[in-house]
Amino acid sequence: MVGAGTDRTKISRGGGPAIVLVRPQLAVNIGMCARAMANFGLSDLRLVSPREGWPRTGSLRKGAYAAAAGAVHLLEGAKLYDTLAEAVADLNFVWATTARERGQGKRVELPGNAMPESAARMAAGERHGIMFGPERTGLENDEVATADAIITFPVNPAYASLNLAQAVLLTGYEWNRAATGETLPFQAPDYSPRANREMVLSFFDYLEGELDKNGFFRPPGKAPVMRRNLRNIFHRMEMTEQDVRTLRGALVRLVEGPRKEAKTRKKAKKAEGPEA
């Protein structure tokens, strides 16, 4: 995981379109799909005739639950169907995901266009679902025919194979974007307000004064341009008050030389003799 950002005190976003896994081959992949769904607030998982069954016990169950990495509520709530027709019976609109053209004359959309459409129609009360085929072969043509339209992923044509959980992940990502407006989970903190002009100009005055004493601005005719260029470098930083204090402190140290107290301390240490 990239950072341990899961916070169980926060309310889980739920809902979204049904994720219909058609004849998934491996229980462990069902677990990975559940995890991807949880990442983006999808909660309606439907399984059509999983090849390994949908084990309630044993090592297959264990593998699926380990892969779900905490999204156990999704596996517990997964609905099991014998046929695709039963799995999509209550849905008003069904997308089929495919990586190839199927010659069925159906509308084809990228997930980034499909999910806003679903979000709008679902907000108006419709139920939508997205079908994903078995890992190795994808959906059969008859299964694609069940759908209203097709979702395909904008992958590198030379390397188009997405695994099942990745296809679910990208769909969930776009669902989340469409349904929630995609807000940042956290913001850069305003740990210090941006410095006002007075503070910034006072810093420049000190810096330029010291540089001037040391003959930095040469030839004198170039001084105005040199000052302006120097100021613009600092302006680009959009300095906070803390930034100005830190930089000014560093500058003072360079100008004034070693701290008095530091010297005292060093001497005191010397008097103590070498370290034990």
- Cβ proximity to its own copies: between 188 and 276 the closer is 188
Q: How far is CA 273 from CA 138, 178, 264, 266, 268, in A?
A: 76, 69, 15, 11, 9
Cα 266 to Cα 149: distance, rounded to the nearest angstrom: 77
- Cβ proximity to its own copies: between 185 and 273 the closer is 185
Q: Do residues 259 and 213 make contact, with C-beta atoms less than 8 angstroms apart? A: no
Cα 79 to Cα 34: distance, rounded to the nearest angstrom: 12
Q: How far is the CB of 226 from its own copies (least distance, A)?
A: 25
In 3D space, the residue among 132, 142, 129 whose CA is nearest the CA of residue 163 turns out to be: 132
- Cβ proximity to its own copies: between 143 and 203 the closer is 143
Residue 46 pairs in a beta bridge with: 20, 79
Cα 23 to Cα 134: distance, rounded to the nearest angstrom: 5
Q: How far is the CB of 163 from its own copies (least distance, A)?
A: 6
Cα separation of the two ends of the chain: 45
Joined tokens for residue 4: 């341990």
- Cβ proximity to its own copies: between 118 and 152 the closer is 152
Q: How far is the CB of 121 from its own copies (least distance, A)?
A: 15
- Cβ proximity to its own copies: between 63 and 138 the closer is 138
Q: How far is the CB of 109 from its own copies (least distance, A)?
A: 8
Q: How far is the CB of 158 from its own copies (least distance, A)?
A: 4
